Structure 1
Amino acid sequence: MSVILETKQLCKFYGAGENQVKAVNQVDIQIEQGEFVAIVGKSGSGKSTLLHMLGGLDTPTKGSVTLAGKDLYRMKEDALAVFRRRKIGFVFQAFNLRFHLLMSGKILYCHVGWMGEKWMKR
């Protein structure tokens, strides 16, 4: 099997000085293709922060995330957005639903991204 996801010295810090919070501190992970992994821990232990960095949603303070051979945080923002859209799926704790859209709009939003009113014409 090959490594599909790897982190090296992954850190996410908030604040500075004595008020600094180390939400994720020097995490090294290697997950091989086909492996099933669970991230578990107490509330506030950094699970969501870690997952957001693994999925390219939140930038680490230090360290790297390599997913499917791509170093996520060396990619330009546009390329990362395309990579996320094509290669990564998310299920959030909060639904993040767009109640103001019709079902057709929600489907189009997920597949092609928000394009203003262009989707209405289709």
Structure 2
Amino acid sequence: PYKTEEILDYYTGLGFNYGVSIDHLIVGDFAKPGSREFRFGLTLDNALDFIEKCRERGYEKFTPIGAAQGWNPESYAEAVKELINMGYEYIALGGMARTPSQDIIDVLIEIQPYLKSTTRL
């Protein structure tokens, strides 16, 4: 397991302009009740730690990206809402690689009301 500090050192040490908070996929066995809520909370906790450490370290040329994970459109919307409240302007929707197009569209429809004009997805 990686720590936020290690990931930030990695991103900044290699000169990245963007970096994604540490997330935990909610797919397969990890999408079962109990596990999914734990991984959802852990992903949001990591995102908060990530953006706070970016602020503390004064990264001005580095853009933090908050990772949103979920198991249905409503949980993704909750994650996006939380990330925006944390101050993220850039958000990545995780766990979508093999998701059917209609399911992705359903998530996008659900998160849309929470997006600001400055939010980048």
The answer to whether TM tops 0.5 is no
Higher fraction of strand: 1
Compare CA radii of gyration and give the structure with the larger one.
Answer: 1
Higher fraction of helix: 2
Q: With structure 1 as the length reference, what TM-score do the two structures score?
A: 0.30
